[in-house]
Every structure is written in C-alpha cells, then in structure tokens.
Amino acid sequence: MNINGTAIYILKVQIDYPDGILVTFSDGTIAGFSSGELLPMRPVRESAEHYRSQTSPPPSRSSPAC
C-alpha cells in the first residue's frame, strides 16, 4: 500500500486470543482482526484432486526434450 508515496508493509503478525490477530504496520499503526472478519476474505479454492482431474499430467522428466 502507498500513502503519500511511502510504501506501508506488514512488520509483524501476532495471535490475539481467542480468535484474532494483531497486525503491526511499518507506519506505526496496529490493526486487530477477528477470525469472523478474515474468513470471508479467503480465496475460493478447489481441492487438488479436482484440479488434477481437470488438467493433463505434467510431462515426465525422464522423457527427452523435443
């Protein structure tokens, strides 16, 4: 994130019991998040088995290059 041309990045993440985290940013601010806030932000994922069934297998490393 950039504010006024200065990059802001995460310095530290700590567990905040019972179900949250505290994030310390490089600009000196701290933000608290609960698991209820974070769960909806998860990316939608598919199982590895579903992905494997949709794609062809990777080429074998033992086969000669074309």
CA distance 45 to 26: 30
Name the strand (E) or helix (H) holding 37.
Answer: helix 35-38
Q: Does the predicted model carry a pTM greater than 0.85?
A: no
For residue range 13-66, list pLDDT tens digits in order.
999 888 999 999 999 999 999 988 988 888 877 676 765 666 665 555 554 554
pLDDT of 28 reads: 94
pLDDT of 54 reads: 63
- Between 1 and 5, the more confident residue is 5
pLDDT of 64 reads: 52
CA distance 7 to 22: 20
